[in-house]
Amino acid sequence: MKYKLLNLLWIWMCPLFAWSQINTDRVMAIGRNALYFEDYVLSIQYFNQVINAKPYLADPYFFRGLAKINLDDFQGAEKDCSEAIERNPFVVNAYQIRGLARIQQNNLSGAVEDYVKALEFDPENVTLWHNLALCRIRQENYEGAKNDLDRLIQISPRYTKAYLMRGEVDLKQKDTLTAETDFNRALEIDRYDPDTWAARAMLQLMREKYPEAEKDLSQAIHLSVRNAGLYINRALSRYHQNNLRGAMADYDLALDMDPNNFIGHYNRGLLRAQVGDDNRAIEDFNFVIEMEPDNMMAIFNRGLLLDQTGDYRGAIKDYSTVIEEYPNFLVGYQYRAAARKKIGDVKGADADEFKVLKAHLDQQNGVKQPAADKDENSRTRKKSDKNMNNYRKIVVADNEGAEEKYKNDYRGRVQDRNVNIVPQPMFVLTYYEKYSDVKQQGHYYKFIDDLNARRLYPAMLLITNDEAALNEEQAQKHFASIDEQTTAIVNAPNDVHKRFARALDFYLVQDLENALTDLNEAIKCEPNYFLPYFNRAMVRYKQVEYQKVTREYEAKERLGDSKIAVQTSDLGMVKRDLDKVIELAPDFVYAYYNRGNVLSSLKDYRAAIEDYDRAIELDANFADAYYNRGLTHIFLGNNRQGIQDLSKAGELGLYSAYNVIKRFTERVE
């Protein structure tokens, strides 16, 4: 029996020596599971095994390509998708992912070919039409893009991004009236999408309707997560209404979110200079010059401010730098002459004044002068504008429209996910969690802390709902650990900790079936040890989630219908495990929280709220429980209670709660 067990595990663990013996369907399933849960490096290792065993299959190449594109290996992703298409030319997703990989390599024509081919097989695929239209916009094929977007709107009349993109194409074709119609239609469909308000605001800025632009941008800011660009644009609308203090306040907010924003620092420097805040204006221009040492307009503006604050030698140095680059910039000579006089450099001042006088005489005698600004009355300039006579003008981005946002908003880079507002995820016991600069909350339970002190497991057990994917070194470490734990289990088959340790290893390498088997055995070894029940609930929950997505994908491929209901019986098993955890450890707060999530998935919202209530009673600072209870109240129509809970979650560090609050709170004008 011992020999049999070790032999089976050796075959499973050592594909290098037994390619033909591996169960490719099983390894493929584990790889897809790892891919779904964003364990990209690990998933590639599984797909490699399948490819080596059965190189004629298309799926492992496709899914390996999908993993690679998420790791920014665009050439590798394109190559793998091409291999998949060579083996099966009817896989729509392979064309879609290869198209994305080609876009990232600026091969737009190749991407267009892929999307056109994929649409032959799936002519009503919204994602394909979306990406095809964006490719055509980048190719400046506006008629083609508009035709694609018209078709997309026919297929999906409530798809707001199509109206926004078509509005941008309208603007490219100078058709502002049609653009306004498209933006307004997008707002009719979804008033809670900040992009729709931002798009219409950019149209209002182009029309010089600054109060209307400010109003739309304020609404976009109200609905969005921290977005520096919206504040930058609202500052521009306020500047045009001579609200300099309001504009500077917006630049302050934008720079809090994006401290390296060039436009924010440059324009705030100009406005600070206008209101006499010279020293802080110098700080802004110092920052701009540090970012762009050859930015002559910033250097000249800093020179003016140094002059104003009495640093005449510093001012002269900046003026000279600009004059060396632009020897015909007469304003520079005038200011340098004045500064030289102030330090007693009469000879230098005379030379500068002579240069200006000579230029005026040449002008009177018909000598050709440098081209003047074509739009002297404009209060703004493009960032790429190098005309030094525009040094006092506010900077705007070269692309003032919102199209820049949408042209990069390609769909399908990662596997399908629910992008709606969703609860915070389940907690699990593991060895890894994602690092965060702002640690929201430490998760602690004395019993687990005592286990760690006893060093019963290969690493410290952590309670987290923010798991980190394994890198290649960590994955190999856990494969090796499975071998070690297997030997230990053979020698001590009733040791619950060794069973649980190997279950954790299997879980971390995304082999959920084997993890479940070990957790079952651990429970047999020690029925009153609650940790295996807790992790078994999570493993089963992950299986339900993954199987649901897999069934949806397969149903869509076969029937064009992806609506699959969650199996109540499957979630019932998850709930029973959590019931047992609560029975064995009634103060284990994370069991109540997880059970609340399961009950919410079963649409038993009132029971879910009771579990979140109990979790909060046990831990008054449990941000995730407040967040999920808040969402559950909102699902029940109790917006006031829900927003109160979400506010508490945000206060405790779960900052995404604030965006949800905005979505469910109408802005008061």
Q: Where is average pLDDT lowest: 2-6, 110-114, 490-494? A: 2-6
Residue 600 has pLDDT above 50, yes or no: yes
Strand partners, 395: 381
Q: Is there a domain that residue 625 lies in?
A: yes
CA 615/CA 154 separation, integer angstroms: 48
Long-range contacts of 66-69 (CB under 8 A, 24+ apart): 66/35, 66/93, 66/97, 66/414, 66/415, 67/35, 67/40, 67/41, 67/43, 68/40, 68/44, 69/97, 69/100, 69/101, 69/104, 69/413
CA dist list (Å): 578 to 224, 429, 475, 514: 36, 14, 29, 20
**Which helix (DSSP H) or strand (DSSP E) does residue 245 occupy?**
helix 244-257
**CA-closest candidate to residue 466, choices 433, 435, 495, 440:** 433
- The stretch 322-330 carries a mean pLDDT of 91
Domain assignment present for 490: no
CATH of the domain at 669: 1.25.40.10
CB atoms within 10 A of CB 267: 27
Tell whether 98 is covered by a domain. Answer: no
pLDDT at 403 over 50: no
pLDDT in tens, 603-648: 999 999 999 999 999 999 999 999 999 999 998 988 889 989 988 8
Does some domain include residue 545?
yes
Cross-strand partners of 430? 462
Q: What is the pLDDT of residues 534-587, one digit of tens each?
A: 999 999 999 888 887 776 555 554 444 444 455 556 799 999 999 999 999 999
- pLDDT-derived band of residue 17, with 50, 70 and 90 as boundaries? very low
pLDDT at residue 408 in the model? 53
Average of per-residue pLDDT across 140-146: 93
Q: What is the end-to-end Cα distance of the chain in Å, rounded? A: 75
Give the pLDDT score at 554.
59
Can you give the pLDDT at residue 647? 86
Assess contact for 471 and 41: CB atoms under 8 A: yes
- Determine, yes or no, domain membership for 5: no
Q: Are 307 and 336 in contact (CB under 8 A)?
A: no
The pLDDT of residue 377 is 61
**CB of 70 within 8 A of CB of 414?**
yes
380: β partners: 394
Work out how many domains the chain is built from and give that number.
Answer: 1
Crossing angle for the helix pair 24-36 and 530-559, to the nearest 10 degrees: 100
For residue 234, what pLDDT band results from cuts at 50, 70 and 90? Answer: very high
DSSP E strand stretches across 321-421: 380-382, 394-396
Residues 46-68 have a mean pLDDT of: 93
475 contacts 41 by C-beta, under 8 angstroms = yes
Q: Is 367 exposed, middle or buried (0-12, 13-18, 19+ CB in 10 A)?
A: exposed
Going 386 to 388 to 391 to 393, the CA torsion angle's sign is: negative
The dihedral built from the CA positions of residue 626, 632, 634 and 638, taken in this order, carries a sign that is negative
Looking at residue 456, its amino acid is: L
Token readout for 150 is 């018209």
Give the amino acid at 361. L
pLDDT band at 21 (very low <50, low <70, confident <90, very high): low
Q: What is the mean pLDDT of the chain?
A: 85
Q: What is the pLDDT of residues 69-105, one digit of tens each?
A: 988 888 989 999 999 999 999 989 999 999 999 998 8
Q: Which residue has the higher pLDDT, 288 or 548?
A: 288
Render 199-233 in DSSP notation, one character per residue.
HHHHHHHHTT-HHHHHHHHHHHHHHSSS-HHHHHH
Identify whether 33 is part of a domain: no
Structure token pair of residue 519: 């957790």
Residue 544 included in any domain: yes
Question: Quick one: pLDDT at residue 12?
Answer: 39
Q: Assess whether pLDDT exceeds 80 at residue 411.
A: no
Per-residue pLDDT band for 336 (boundaries 50, 70, 90) equals very high
Does 583 map to a domain? yes
Do 648 and 619 meet the contact criterion of CB atoms below 8 Å apart?
no
Query: Worst-scoring range by mean pLDDT, 168-177, 265-274, 367-376?
Result: 367-376
CB 412 within 8 A of CB 125: no
Helix (H) / strand (E) containing 82: helix 74-87
According to the model, what pLDDT value does residue 665 have? 66
Nearest to 515 by CA among 601, 429, 416: 429
Distance (Å, whole) CA 455 – CA 477: 18
Whole-number pLDDT of residue 657: 82
Phi, psi dihedral angles at 232 (to 5 degrees):
-60, -45
Q: Which residues of 229-264 are buried (b: 16+ CB within 10 A; e: fewer)?
A: bbbbbbbbbbbbeebbebbbbbbebbbebbeebbbb
Q: Is the pLDDT of residue 667 over 50?
A: no
CA quadruple 243, 249, 250, 254: dihedral, nearest 10: 160
Which domain, by its residues, includes 608?
538-669
- The residues near 411 (Cβ < 8 Å, ≥ 6 apart) are 127, 130, 131
Helix 472-491 / helix 496-508 crossing angle, nearest 10 deg: 150
- 476 sits in which H/E element: helix 472-491
Q: Which of 272, 271, 326 is nearest to 300 (CA)?
A: 326
Q: Does residue 112 register a pLDDT over 50?
A: yes
1 Cβ partners below 8 Å, 6+ apart? none
| Angstrom distance (rounded) from CA 82 to CA 94 | 8
Q: Is the dihedral of CA 110, 116, 120, 123 positive or negative?
A: positive
